[in-house]
Amino acid sequence: MTDLVIRALDERDVHLFDTLPDPLRAAEAFRNATYRPEWKRVALRDGRVVARAAWWGGPDDTEPLSAEWFDFADGEEEAGAELLRSAPWKEIGLQLVLPSGWRSDPVQRAAAEARFAAARAAGQRLMVERFIYRWTPECGLPDRPGRLTFAPEPDDAVFFDALRRIHSVTLDAHARKAVEKGGLDLAAQEEMDFFRWCPSPREWWQVARTADGELAGIHIPAHNPSGPCIGFIGVLPEHRGHGYAYDLLAECTHYLVERGAEFIAGATDQGNFPMAAHFTKAGYPVVRERVHFEVG
């Protein structure tokens, strides 16, 4: 077998990225995403592309935030592993987007598991699997239960304190990782940083209160670079057990639609059964799945 050549692409040869088969329908998943040519890398053997990966970041980011598009030809698992292993962004884990229900399709399952094996060979480990949702007008607007009142809150300290309390008992894998690394302050700050990174207005952040005026939770309607999304839904621990996360999700959906959203993206960990049930109740279909790996 001839030697492998791994390199980044540029404007002249970015077309090479599209020369591999696409068993996991990545082109469909990323048709609205913009990838910088220099953040696309390929592995070539005898001048033929045998593995590819694309890293993604926001329009103002100087470094990518995630590795998303990852494929390789049959029998080239090690080439795929080396492509990830040799990338200049050593601490960025793979976020592999898969078709919904991929485990029930033998071809897709084999392709996905081969890519999992390559990621592990590159030194990455499975962190969490998530459901990806996409609401459209055909889904219908979810009913508003009317149990909570919603209002903007200009004080960041209110959101920071709420996030600390929400993440003190959480099913979210990324939040739990942040808590393990740096405590509740880090988990709350990472969420705040993400909300600030989104191009949507700060004025959209909302608190939710009970009829007695107690703070019950928060919701963050947002736009990420790909469009409108459910930025965050969180219920304070002392108010859980009433299904308020559904109320927050319904309100967040209405809020975005009232501001012109023609679709809304959402996501939750597959192990977060309560939130997955709320998405289903609110009419959000699962359109894809995302498997997150982390380095180390």
Question: pTM of the full predicted structure?
Answer: 0.94
**What is the token pair recorded at 182?**
């740096």
Q: Which helix (H) or strand (E) holds 221?
A: strand 215-224
Residue-wise pLDDT tens digits, 196-237: 999 999 999 999 999 999 999 999 999 999 999 999 999 999
54-79 average pLDDT score: 94
Q: What average pLDDT does the segment 234-251 reach? A: 98
Q: Which two tokens stand for residue 204?
A: 């959209």
Q: How confident is the model at residue 250 (pLDDT cuts 50, 70, 90)?
A: very high
Residue 33 predicted with pLDDT over 90? no
**Confidence (pLDDT) at 12:** 87
Instruction: Tabulate helix, strand, coil % of the chain (nearest 5).
Output: 35, 30, 35
Beta bridge partners of 232: 220
Nearest to 71 by CA among 43, 45, 47, 92: 43
SS3 238: helix
What are the boundaries of each domain within the chain?
Answer: 5-122, 138-286
Asked if residue 2 has pLDDT above 80, the reply is: no
Question: In CATH, what class is 5-122?
Answer: alpha beta
pLDDT at 1: 60
**What's the whole-number mean pLDDT along residues 257-286?**
98
Per-residue pLDDT, 34: 83
> What's the mean pLDDT when you consider all of the chain?
96
pLDDT at residue 189, rounded to an integer: 98
Confidence (pLDDT) at 115: 97
CA distances from 20 to 23, 26, 49, 50, 71 (A): 9, 11, 7, 7, 8
CATH for the stretch 138-286: 3.40.630.30
Instruction: Summarize pLDDT for 158-181 with one digit per residue, the tens.
Output: 999 999 999 999 999 999 999 999
Give the whole-angstrom CA distance, residue 103 versus residue 200: 35
Rounded distance between C-alpha atoms, residue 146 and residue 44, angstroms: 58
Query: Is the confidence at residue 90, as pLDDT, over 90?
Result: no
Quote the CA–CA distance of 117 and 72 in Å, as a whole number: 12
Q: List, for residues 148-159, the tens digit of each pLDDT value.
A: 999 999 999 999
pLDDT at 198: 96
Give the H or E element holding residue 190. Answer: helix 173-197
